[in-house]
Amino acid sequence: MKNKIKELISELGMTQKDLAEKTGMTEAGISRALGGSASRKTIERIASVLNVDPEALIDDDNMPYAKYGSEKSPLKIGNVEVPCYVLSTGERVLSGRGISRALGSTSSSGDWLQRFSANTNLAPFFEADDRSIAERVATPIVFRRNNAGGSQSNTYGYEATLLIDICSAILDANRANLFNDVAIVASADSIIRAVAKVGIIALIDEATGYNKEKNRAKDELQQFLNTFLSAEASRWVKVFDDSFFEDLYKMHNWSWTKTSKRPGIVGKWINDIVYERIGPMVLAELQERNPTDEKGTRKYRHHQYLSGDIGIPALKNHLISLHTLAVASGYNWLLFKRFVDTVHPRQEQQMYLFENYEDFDY
Protein backbone atom coordinates (compact mmCIF):
# COMPACT_ATOMS: atom_id res chain seq x y z
CA MET A 1 0.00 0.00 0.00
CA LYS A 2 1.03 3.61 -0.53
CA ASN A 3 2.94 4.83 2.48
CA LYS A 4 5.07 7.55 4.03
CA ILE A 5 7.95 5.34 5.14
CA LYS A 6 10.46 7.02 2.84
CA GLU A 7 9.63 10.48 4.18
CA LEU A 8 9.86 9.33 7.80
CA ILE A 9 13.21 7.55 7.56
CA SER A 10 14.56 10.59 5.71
CA GLU A 11 13.48 12.79 8.64
CA LEU A 12 15.15 10.34 11.03
CA GLY A 13 18.38 10.36 8.99
CA MET A 14 18.01 6.63 8.36
CA THR A 15 18.94 4.86 5.13
CA GLN A 16 17.10 1.97 3.48
CA LYS A 17 20.01 -0.26 4.51
CA ASP A 18 19.62 0.82 8.15
CA LEU A 19 15.90 0.07 8.04
CA ALA A 20 16.52 -3.32 6.44
CA GLU A 21 18.94 -4.26 9.22
CA LYS A 22 16.58 -3.13 11.99
CA THR A 23 13.57 -4.95 10.54
CA GLY A 24 15.43 -8.06 9.38
CA MET A 25 14.19 -7.49 5.84
CA THR A 26 16.23 -7.43 2.65
CA GLU A 27 17.13 -4.12 1.04
CA ALA A 28 15.16 -5.21 -2.02
CA GLY A 29 12.12 -5.83 0.18
CA ILE A 30 12.48 -2.41 1.80
CA SER A 31 12.82 -0.80 -1.62
CA ARG A 32 9.59 -2.42 -2.80
CA ALA A 33 7.85 -1.37 0.41
CA LEU A 34 8.91 2.24 -0.07
CA GLY A 35 7.65 2.01 -3.65
CA GLY A 36 4.13 1.26 -2.42
CA SER A 37 4.15 -2.55 -2.30
CA ALA A 38 4.11 -2.86 1.49
CA SER A 39 1.52 -5.17 2.99
CA ARG A 40 -0.29 -4.35 6.22
CA LYS A 41 2.03 -6.73 8.10
CA THR A 42 5.09 -5.01 6.62
CA ILE A 43 3.72 -1.60 7.62
CA GLU A 44 3.18 -2.83 11.17
CA ARG A 45 6.65 -4.39 11.27
CA ILE A 46 8.34 -1.19 10.17
CA ALA A 47 6.14 0.95 12.45
CA SER A 48 7.21 -1.16 15.42
CA VAL A 49 10.90 -0.56 14.63
CA LEU A 50 10.33 3.16 14.09
CA ASN A 51 8.16 3.36 17.21
CA VAL A 52 5.21 5.00 15.45
CA ASP A 53 1.53 4.15 14.94
CA PRO A 54 1.12 2.04 11.77
CA GLU A 55 -1.69 4.37 10.63
CA ALA A 56 0.82 7.23 10.55
CA LEU A 57 2.72 5.42 7.80
CA ILE A 58 -0.28 4.88 5.52
CA ASP A 59 -0.72 7.47 2.79
CA ASP A 60 -4.52 7.69 2.51
CA ASP A 61 -4.38 10.71 0.22
CA ASN A 62 -2.80 8.68 -2.57
CA MET A 63 -4.66 5.44 -1.92
CA PRO A 64 -6.41 4.17 -5.07
CA TYR A 65 -10.17 3.80 -4.97
CA ALA A 66 -12.65 1.50 -6.69
CA LYS A 67 -13.82 3.46 -9.73
CA TYR A 68 -16.01 0.61 -10.92
CA GLY A 69 -17.46 -2.41 -9.17
CA SER A 70 -18.97 -3.31 -5.82
CA GLU A 71 -19.83 -6.36 -3.76
CA LYS A 72 -23.22 -6.31 -5.46
CA SER A 73 -21.69 -6.80 -8.92
CA PRO A 74 -19.29 -9.75 -8.47
CA LEU A 75 -17.50 -11.79 -11.07
CA LYS A 76 -19.31 -15.14 -11.30
CA ILE A 77 -17.21 -18.28 -11.74
CA GLY A 78 -19.49 -21.29 -11.64
CA ASN A 79 -21.36 -21.10 -8.34
CA VAL A 80 -18.80 -18.78 -6.74
CA GLU A 81 -19.05 -15.00 -6.69
CA VAL A 82 -15.79 -13.03 -6.48
CA PRO A 83 -16.02 -9.28 -5.74
CA CYS A 84 -14.11 -7.48 -8.47
CA TYR A 85 -13.14 -3.86 -9.05
CA VAL A 86 -11.42 -1.55 -11.52
CA LEU A 87 -9.36 0.96 -9.54
CA SER A 88 -8.66 4.60 -10.20
CA THR A 89 -5.19 3.47 -11.31
CA GLY A 90 -6.70 1.24 -13.99
CA GLU A 91 -5.77 -1.96 -12.13
CA ARG A 92 -8.25 -4.85 -12.21
CA VAL A 93 -8.42 -6.49 -8.80
CA LEU A 94 -10.22 -9.33 -7.06
CA SER A 95 -10.89 -9.51 -3.34
CA GLY A 96 -8.68 -11.83 -1.32
CA ARG A 97 -11.63 -13.60 0.30
CA GLY A 98 -13.22 -14.03 -3.13
CA ILE A 99 -10.07 -15.67 -4.51
CA SER A 100 -10.00 -17.99 -1.49
CA ARG A 101 -13.63 -19.02 -2.06
CA ALA A 102 -13.00 -19.55 -5.78
CA LEU A 103 -10.17 -21.95 -4.92
CA GLY A 104 -12.53 -23.96 -2.73
CA SER A 105 -11.76 -22.59 0.72
CA THR A 106 -14.60 -22.68 3.24
CA SER A 107 -12.55 -20.87 5.88
CA SER A 108 -13.92 -17.62 7.30
CA SER A 109 -10.38 -16.44 8.05
CA GLY A 110 -9.12 -13.49 6.05
CA ASP A 111 -5.57 -14.84 5.90
CA TRP A 112 -6.35 -18.23 4.30
CA LEU A 113 -4.68 -17.21 1.03
CA GLN A 114 -1.47 -16.18 2.81
CA ARG A 115 -1.37 -19.45 4.74
CA PHE A 116 -2.14 -21.45 1.61
CA SER A 117 0.68 -19.77 -0.33
CA ALA A 118 3.10 -20.93 2.39
CA ASN A 119 2.36 -24.61 1.61
CA THR A 120 5.79 -26.25 1.32
CA ASN A 121 4.67 -28.52 -1.53
CA LEU A 122 3.69 -25.48 -3.56
CA ALA A 123 6.82 -23.48 -2.76
CA PRO A 124 8.78 -24.46 -5.92
CA PHE A 125 5.90 -23.14 -8.03
CA PHE A 126 4.82 -20.19 -5.88
CA GLU A 127 8.29 -18.76 -5.30
CA ALA A 128 9.65 -18.84 -8.85
CA ASP A 129 10.40 -15.64 -10.82
CA ASP A 130 11.15 -12.12 -9.59
CA ARG A 131 7.52 -11.24 -8.91
CA SER A 132 6.61 -14.60 -7.45
CA ILE A 133 3.11 -15.67 -6.49
CA ALA A 134 4.17 -15.81 -2.84
CA GLU A 135 5.45 -12.23 -2.96
CA ARG A 136 2.30 -10.94 -4.67
CA VAL A 137 0.10 -12.69 -2.13
CA ALA A 138 2.16 -11.10 0.66
CA THR A 139 1.72 -7.61 -0.81
CA PRO A 140 -2.00 -7.06 -1.51
CA ILE A 141 -3.29 -3.90 -3.12
CA VAL A 142 -5.07 -1.69 -0.58
CA PHE A 143 -7.86 0.51 -1.92
CA ARG A 144 -10.99 2.31 -0.84
CA ARG A 145 -14.37 0.90 -1.77
CA ASN A 146 -17.15 3.12 -3.03
CA ASN A 147 -19.61 4.31 -0.40
CA ALA A 148 -17.92 2.27 2.34
CA GLY A 149 -17.25 3.92 5.66
CA GLY A 150 -15.57 3.15 8.95
CA SER A 151 -12.90 0.49 9.37
CA GLN A 152 -14.26 -1.50 6.42
CA SER A 153 -13.67 1.22 3.82
CA ASN A 154 -10.18 -0.05 3.00
CA THR A 155 -10.13 -3.34 1.11
CA TYR A 156 -7.30 -5.75 0.39
CA GLY A 157 -7.30 -7.04 -3.17
CA TYR A 158 -5.02 -8.68 -5.69
CA GLU A 159 -4.39 -8.09 -9.37
CA ALA A 160 -6.87 -10.24 -11.28
CA THR A 161 -4.21 -12.26 -13.08
CA LEU A 162 -2.93 -13.59 -9.74
CA LEU A 163 -5.89 -15.99 -9.56
CA ILE A 164 -4.92 -17.50 -12.92
CA ASP A 165 -1.26 -17.77 -11.93
CA ILE A 166 -2.19 -19.51 -8.68
CA CYS A 167 -4.42 -21.98 -10.53
CA SER A 168 -1.67 -22.72 -13.06
CA ALA A 169 0.84 -23.30 -10.25
CA ILE A 170 -1.58 -25.63 -8.43
CA LEU A 171 -2.07 -27.70 -11.58
CA ASP A 172 1.70 -27.81 -12.22
CA ALA A 173 2.27 -29.00 -8.65
CA ASN A 174 -0.45 -31.62 -9.07
CA ARG A 175 1.13 -32.94 -12.28
CA ALA A 176 4.43 -33.21 -10.39
CA ASN A 177 2.63 -35.25 -7.68
CA LEU A 178 3.49 -32.61 -5.07
CA PHE A 179 -0.02 -31.34 -4.37
CA ASN A 180 -3.08 -33.57 -4.34
CA ASP A 181 -5.91 -31.72 -2.62
CA VAL A 182 -8.71 -32.99 -4.88
CA ALA A 183 -11.16 -30.16 -4.22
CA ILE A 184 -8.64 -27.34 -4.74
CA VAL A 185 -7.14 -28.98 -7.84
CA ALA A 186 -10.65 -29.38 -9.29
CA SER A 187 -11.43 -25.73 -8.57
CA ALA A 188 -8.19 -24.58 -10.20
CA ASP A 189 -8.86 -26.73 -13.26
CA SER A 190 -12.42 -25.36 -13.60
CA ILE A 191 -11.23 -21.75 -13.38
CA ILE A 192 -8.49 -22.26 -15.97
CA ARG A 193 -10.88 -23.94 -18.40
CA ALA A 194 -13.58 -21.31 -17.88
CA VAL A 195 -11.16 -18.44 -18.47
CA ALA A 196 -9.71 -20.20 -21.53
CA LYS A 197 -13.20 -20.54 -23.01
CA VAL A 198 -13.97 -16.91 -22.30
CA GLY A 199 -10.63 -15.96 -23.87
CA ILE A 200 -11.31 -17.77 -27.14
CA ILE A 201 -14.84 -16.34 -27.25
CA ALA A 202 -13.40 -12.83 -26.78
CA LEU A 203 -10.88 -13.39 -29.59
CA ILE A 204 -13.60 -14.61 -31.96
CA ASP A 205 -15.85 -11.69 -31.01
CA GLU A 206 -13.03 -9.26 -31.80
CA ALA A 207 -12.11 -10.96 -35.08
CA THR A 208 -15.72 -11.05 -36.32
CA GLY A 209 -16.69 -7.61 -35.05
CA TYR A 210 -19.35 -9.06 -32.74
CA ASN A 211 -17.75 -7.24 -29.81
CA LYS A 212 -18.90 -3.97 -31.42
CA GLU A 213 -22.46 -5.31 -31.44
CA LYS A 214 -22.20 -6.20 -27.75
CA ASN A 215 -20.84 -2.73 -26.99
CA ARG A 216 -23.78 -1.25 -28.88
CA ALA A 217 -26.18 -3.28 -26.72
CA LYS A 218 -24.44 -2.05 -23.56
CA ASP A 219 -24.66 1.54 -24.83
CA GLU A 220 -28.38 1.10 -25.45
CA LEU A 221 -28.83 -0.34 -21.96
CA GLN A 222 -27.01 2.65 -20.48
CA GLN A 223 -29.19 5.02 -22.50
CA PHE A 224 -32.29 3.25 -21.15
CA LEU A 225 -31.03 3.55 -17.56
CA ASN A 226 -30.21 7.23 -18.08
CA THR A 227 -33.79 7.94 -19.16
CA PHE A 228 -35.43 5.60 -16.61
CA LEU A 229 -33.38 6.81 -13.63
CA SER A 230 -32.22 10.17 -12.30
CA ALA A 231 -28.66 11.04 -11.43
CA GLU A 232 -29.78 12.61 -8.14
CA ALA A 233 -32.52 11.64 -5.71
CA SER A 234 -35.70 13.69 -6.02
CA ARG A 235 -37.85 15.02 -3.20
CA TRP A 236 -39.84 12.21 -1.56
CA VAL A 237 -43.44 11.86 -2.65
CA LYS A 238 -45.75 8.95 -1.91
CA VAL A 239 -45.72 6.50 -4.80
CA PHE A 240 -46.54 3.17 -3.14
CA ASP A 241 -50.19 3.55 -2.11
CA ASP A 242 -51.48 1.92 1.06
CA SER A 243 -53.42 -0.50 -1.15
CA PHE A 244 -50.14 -2.05 -2.33
CA PHE A 245 -49.08 -2.91 1.22
CA GLU A 246 -52.61 -3.93 2.13
CA ASP A 247 -52.50 -6.48 -0.72
CA LEU A 248 -49.19 -7.87 0.54
CA TYR A 249 -50.48 -8.16 4.11
CA LYS A 250 -53.74 -9.76 2.96
CA MET A 251 -51.87 -12.40 0.92
CA HIS A 252 -49.93 -13.34 4.08
CA ASN A 253 -52.92 -13.21 6.42
CA TRP A 254 -51.43 -10.28 8.33
CA SER A 255 -53.47 -7.56 9.97
CA TRP A 256 -53.28 -4.27 8.08
CA THR A 257 -52.95 -1.21 10.33
CA LYS A 258 -51.60 1.36 7.82
CA THR A 259 -48.33 1.47 9.73
CA SER A 260 -45.14 2.79 8.14
CA LYS A 261 -43.09 0.32 10.21
CA ARG A 262 -42.98 -2.91 8.25
CA PRO A 263 -40.97 -6.16 8.55
CA GLY A 264 -37.71 -6.23 6.61
CA ILE A 265 -39.04 -9.01 4.39
CA VAL A 266 -41.42 -6.49 2.81
CA GLY A 267 -38.43 -4.67 1.33
CA LYS A 268 -37.21 -7.93 -0.20
CA TRP A 269 -40.64 -8.56 -1.68
CA ILE A 270 -40.62 -5.08 -3.22
CA ASN A 271 -37.22 -5.73 -4.80
CA ASP A 272 -38.52 -9.06 -6.12
CA ILE A 273 -41.92 -8.13 -7.54
CA VAL A 274 -41.19 -4.50 -8.44
CA TYR A 275 -37.63 -3.38 -9.06
CA GLU A 276 -36.36 -6.66 -10.55
CA ARG A 277 -39.29 -6.64 -12.99
CA ILE A 278 -39.65 -3.09 -14.31
CA GLY A 279 -36.49 -3.06 -16.42
CA PRO A 280 -33.08 -4.66 -17.05
CA MET A 281 -30.38 -3.70 -14.55
CA VAL A 282 -32.76 -1.27 -12.82
CA LEU A 283 -32.40 -2.78 -9.34
CA ALA A 284 -28.63 -3.18 -9.71
CA GLU A 285 -28.28 0.44 -10.82
CA LEU A 286 -30.53 1.68 -8.00
CA GLN A 287 -28.38 -0.19 -5.46
CA GLU A 288 -25.31 1.53 -6.93
CA ARG A 289 -26.85 5.00 -6.86
CA ASN A 290 -28.56 4.54 -3.50
CA PRO A 291 -26.11 2.41 -1.45
CA THR A 292 -26.44 1.32 2.14
CA ASP A 293 -24.31 2.93 4.81
CA GLU A 294 -22.28 1.15 7.50
CA LYS A 295 -25.54 0.57 9.43
CA GLY A 296 -27.18 -1.11 6.45
CA THR A 297 -29.68 1.70 5.81
CA ARG A 298 -30.25 3.81 2.70
CA LYS A 299 -30.49 7.60 2.66
CA TYR A 300 -33.31 7.60 0.10
CA ARG A 301 -36.13 5.39 -1.12
CA HIS A 302 -35.28 3.67 -4.39
CA HIS A 303 -38.23 5.29 -6.20
CA GLN A 304 -36.70 8.73 -5.54
CA TYR A 305 -34.11 7.87 -8.21
CA LEU A 306 -36.72 7.07 -10.89
CA SER A 307 -37.09 9.77 -13.52
CA GLY A 308 -40.30 11.79 -13.36
CA ASP A 309 -41.16 11.46 -17.04
CA ILE A 310 -40.44 7.75 -17.59
CA GLY A 311 -39.41 5.88 -14.43
CA ILE A 312 -42.21 6.99 -12.07
CA PRO A 313 -45.03 6.44 -14.62
CA ALA A 314 -43.63 2.97 -15.36
CA LEU A 315 -43.57 2.18 -11.64
CA LYS A 316 -47.16 3.36 -11.15
CA ASN A 317 -48.39 1.24 -14.08
CA HIS A 318 -46.51 -1.74 -12.67
CA LEU A 319 -48.15 -1.31 -9.26
CA ILE A 320 -51.60 -1.16 -10.88
CA SER A 321 -50.82 -4.41 -12.68
CA LEU A 322 -49.68 -6.06 -9.42
CA HIS A 323 -52.95 -5.11 -7.74
CA THR A 324 -54.88 -6.66 -10.63
CA LEU A 325 -52.87 -9.89 -10.28
CA ALA A 326 -53.41 -9.93 -6.51
CA VAL A 327 -57.18 -9.73 -7.00
CA ALA A 328 -57.08 -12.34 -9.80
CA SER A 329 -55.16 -14.74 -7.54
CA GLY A 330 -57.79 -14.49 -4.83
CA TYR A 331 -55.04 -13.04 -2.63
CA ASN A 332 -53.17 -16.35 -2.72
CA TRP A 333 -49.45 -15.52 -2.47
CA LEU A 334 -48.16 -18.57 -4.37
CA LEU A 335 -50.66 -18.15 -7.20
CA PHE A 336 -49.94 -14.40 -7.25
CA LYS A 337 -46.20 -15.11 -7.66
CA ARG A 338 -46.93 -17.45 -10.58
CA PHE A 339 -48.98 -14.73 -12.24
CA VAL A 340 -46.20 -12.18 -11.67
CA ASP A 341 -43.57 -14.53 -13.11
CA THR A 342 -45.71 -14.96 -16.23
CA VAL A 343 -46.79 -11.36 -16.77
CA HIS A 344 -43.67 -9.60 -15.44
CA PRO A 345 -40.68 -11.97 -15.68
CA ARG A 346 -37.52 -10.92 -13.90
CA GLN A 347 -35.19 -8.70 -15.88
CA GLU A 348 -31.44 -9.31 -15.92
CA GLN A 349 -29.72 -7.55 -13.01
CA GLN A 350 -26.13 -8.73 -13.62
CA MET A 351 -23.70 -8.15 -16.48
CA TYR A 352 -21.72 -11.38 -16.78
CA LEU A 353 -18.09 -11.64 -17.79
CA PHE A 354 -18.61 -15.32 -18.58
CA GLU A 355 -21.44 -15.42 -21.11
CA ASN A 356 -23.42 -18.65 -20.89
CA TYR A 357 -21.21 -19.70 -17.99
CA GLU A 358 -23.85 -22.18 -16.88
CA ASP A 359 -23.04 -24.24 -19.99
CA PHE A 360 -19.45 -24.74 -18.90
CA ASP A 361 -18.65 -28.18 -17.55
CA TYR A 362 -17.54 -27.43 -14.00
Q: Contact, 167 vs 186, CB < 8 A?
A: no
Q: For the residues of 50-71, what is the DSSP string, one character each?
A: HTS-GGGGB-GGG--BEEE--T
> Is residue 348 situated within a structural domain?
no
Position 147 confidence tier, pLDDT thresholds 50, 70, 90: low
Q: Are residues 295 and 339 in the same domain?
A: yes
Q: Are residues 132 and 45 in the same domain?
A: no
> Is residue 220 situated within a structural domain?
no
Q: Are residues 160 and 183 in the same domain?
A: yes
**CA separation (Å) from 130 to 32, 144, 170, 207, 208?**
12, 28, 19, 35, 38
Domain boundary pick from 175, 208, 241: 208
Residue length of the chain:
362
**Mean pLDDT, residues 87-114 taken together:** 87
Q: Contact, 322 vs 337, CB < 8 A?
A: no
Q: Are residues 54 and 132 in the same domain?
A: no
> Is residue 128 situated within a structural domain?
yes
Q: Domain range holding 12?
A: 5-62
Per-residue confidence (pLDDT) for residue 216, from 0 to 100: 80
> Is residue 277 situated within a structural domain?
yes
**CA separation (Å) from 112 to 101, 104, 299?**
10, 11, 35
- Look at 353 and 194; give whichever has higher pLDDT: 194
Per-residue confidence (pLDDT) for residue 362, from 0 to 100: 34
| Top-confidence range, 30-44, 106-120, 241-255 | 241-255
Position 269 confidence tier, pLDDT thresholds 50, 70, 90: very high
Looking at the structure of the chain, the number of domains it has is 3
Q: Are residues 233 and 185 in the same domain?
A: no
Position 172 confidence tier, pLDDT thresholds 50, 70, 90: very high
Position 140 confidence tier, pLDDT thresholds 50, 70, 90: confident
Q: Are residues 231 and 151 in the same domain?
A: no
Q: Is the per-residue pLDDT at 321 higher than 90?
A: yes
Phi, psi of 197 (to 5 degrees): -65, -45
**Mean pLDDT, residues 170-190 taken together:** 92
Per-residue confidence (pLDDT) for residue 163, from 0 to 100: 93
Q: Are residues 186 and 265 in the same domain?
A: no
Residue 158, amino acid: Y
Per-residue confidence (pLDDT) for residue 169, from 0 to 100: 93
Position 1 confidence tier, pLDDT thresholds 50, 70, 90: low
**Mean pLDDT, residues 163-192 taken together:** 92
**Mean pLDDT, residues 161-190 taken together:** 92
**Mean pLDDT, residues 226-249 taken together:** 89
Give the sign of the dihedral formed by CA 181, CA 183, CA 186, CA 188. negative
Per-residue confidence (pLDDT) for residue 153, from 0 to 100: 61
> Is residue 33 situated within a structural domain?
yes
Average pLDDT over the chain reads 83
Domain boundary pick from 46, 62, 78: 62
Per-residue confidence (pLDDT) for residue 349, from 0 to 100: 62
Q: Are residues 185 and 261 in the same domain?
A: no
Q: Are residues 28 and 81 in the same domain?
A: no
Weakest mean pLDDT among 51-60, 137-146, 317-326 = 51-60
Q: Is the per-residue pLDDT at 354 higher than 60?
A: no
pLDDT digits (tens, 9 = 90+) for 340-349: 999 999 887 6
> Is residue 19 situated within a structural domain?
yes
> Against a cut of 0.75, is the pTM above it?
no
CATH number of the domain to which 27 belongs: 1.10.260.40
Domain boundary pick from 62, 84, 104: 62
Q: Is the per-residue pLDDT at 217 higher than 90?
A: no
Q: Is the per-residue pLDDT at 350 higher than 50?
A: yes
**Mean pLDDT, residues 116-135 taken together:** 85
Q: Where are the beta strands (DSSP E) in 160-268?
A: none
Q: Are residues 106 and 203 in the same domain?
A: yes
Position 259 confidence tier, pLDDT thresholds 50, 70, 90: low
> Is residue 147 situated within a structural domain?
yes
Q: Are residues 95 and 72 in the same domain?
A: yes
Say what percent of the chain tops pLDDT 90.
Answer: 29
Per-residue confidence (pLDDT) for residue 70, from 0 to 100: 77
| The three-state (H, E, C) secondary structure of the chain, written as one string | CCECHHHHHHHCCCCHHHHHHHHCCCHHHHHHHHHHHCCHHHHHHHHHHHCCCHHHHECHHHCCEEEECCCCCCEEECCEEECEEEECCCCEEEEHHHHHHHCCCCCCCCCHHHHHHCCCCCHHHHCCCCCCHHHHHHCCEEEECCCCCHHHCEEEEEECHHHHHHHHHHHHHHHCCCCCCHHHHHHHHHHHHHHHHHHHHHHHHHHHCHHHHHHHHHHHHHHHHHHHECCCCCCCCCCCCHHHHHHHHHHCCCCCCCCCCCCHHHHHHHHHHHHCCCCCCHHHHHHHHCCECCCCCECCCHHHHECCCCHHHHHHHHHHHHHHHHHHCCCCHHHHHHHHHHHCCCCCCCCCCCCCHHHCCC
> Is residue 315 situated within a structural domain?
yes
Per-residue confidence (pLDDT) for residue 27, from 0 to 100: 83
Q: Are residues 195 and 324 in the same domain?
A: no
